[in-house]
Amino acid sequence: MNHKAQEWFNPFGGHRASGRGVADDKRVVVLVSGHGSNLQALLDATAEPGSGMAVVLVGADRPDAYGLERARRAGVDTAVVRPADHPDRPAFDLALRDLVAAARPDVVCLAGFMRILGPGFVRAFPDRILNTHPSLLPAFRGAHAVRDALAYGVKVTGCTVHLVDEEVDHGPVLFQAAVPVEPGDDEDRLHERIKREEHRLLPLAVRMVAEGRVRVEGRRARIADPEEVPR
């Protein structure tokens, strides 16, 4: 890990660990279920001097998600909301909503969060929830996108960063990147190359939402010029 990237200049009081934002930093909440390499990309990006953003909370649906460890190392608060502790999915959605809302997020980012979030959660943060998905949507929705793309025999796949609506892997697209399938690829090898693109695009998308530069018209999301954003 690049420890240098974990430090940034705080104009109000010297250096600090990533995740402890200054007062007017845009607040980012990240939800993870597993490895958390996309979370790490966000932690590194927000730790850059002058990023104007801070990851203020990392939530997970399972206590063994490695992303939680990444967050702790970066000095970011963590919390676990387990589906098994709630009677049904709507109750889980509301518990997670309350946890996330208490962190007062400008952006909520699903970074490998393997739960379907219902209206109880999604409606609380309209046009402020981002998801990254390892295919070129609308192809290969669902939990096995890389495996399904390989099985279908496509020559090009990729990733999609999109706003979250009430359907799975469906909301307006912000960014996509194509990744060619190479001879000899297996699921892991192809997924690693797709993740490299996700690591590039997800922090960019978080910044666009955080800065209020995303305009949604129906299915289309447009990135507004900085001059169009009211101050």
Q: How far is the CB of 139 from ligand GRF (least distance, A)?
A: 14
Q: 47-86 mask for ligand GRF (x: CB under 6 A)?
A: ----------------------------------------
Burial track 175-202 (b if 16+ CB lie within 10 A, e otherwise) = bbeebebeeebeeeebbebbbebbbebb
State the DSSP H helix or E strand holding residue 129, giving kind and residue range, or none if neither. Answer: strand 129-133
Closest C-alpha among 46, 54, 50, 47 to residue 25: 54
What one-letter code names the amino acid at 107? V
Among 16, 19, 26, 34, binds ligand GRF (CB under 6 A): 34
- Please list, in sequence order, all residues whose beta carbon lies within 8 angstroms of the beta carbon of residue 150, skipping any fewer than 6 positions away: 181, 185, 186, 187, 190
Gap between the Cα atoms of 78 and 150, Å rounded: 35
Among 19, 195, 201, 205, binds ligand GRF (CB under 6 A): 195
Q: How far is the CB of 34 from ligand GRF (least distance, A)?
A: 4
Among 16, 18, 31, 36, binds ligand GRF (CB under 6 A): 36
Among 6, 38, 46, 157, binds ligand GRF (CB under 6 A): 38
Considering the complex, state which of residue 16 and residue 197 has its C-beta at the smaller distance from ligand GRF. 197
Name residues contacting ligand GRF, limited to 121-180 (CB under 6 A). 132-134
Q: How far is the CB of 176 from ligand GRF (least distance, A)?
A: 12
Q: Catalytic one among 15, 133, 191, 199?
A: 133
Q: How far is CA 141 from the centre of its chain?
A: 17
Q: How far is the CB of 134 from ligand GRF (least distance, A)?
A: 4
170 is catalytic: no
Considering the complex, state which of residue 30 and residue 54 has its C-beta at the smaller distance from ligand GRF. 30
Considering the complex, state which of residue 22 and residue 139 has its C-beta at the smaller distance from ligand GRF. 139
Check residue 158 and give left, alpha or beta (phi > 0: left; psi -120 to 50: alpha): left
**In Å, how far are 80, 157, 197 from 177, measured between CA atoms?**
31, 8, 7
- The residues pairing with 223 across neighbouring beta strands, listed in sequence order, are 214
The neighbour count for residue 134, using CB atoms within 10 Å, is 23
Q: How far is the CB of 189 from ligand GRF (least distance, A)?
A: 13
Decide: 145 and 133 in contact? Cβ < 8 Å. Answer: yes
Considering the complex, state which of residue 16 and residue 201 has its C-beta at the smaller distance from ligand GRF. 201
Considering the complex, state which of residue 16 and residue 203 has its C-beta at the smaller distance from ligand GRF. 203
| Residues identified as active-site | 133
Residue ranges binding ligand GRF (CB under 6 A): 34-38, 111-112, 132-134, 195, 198
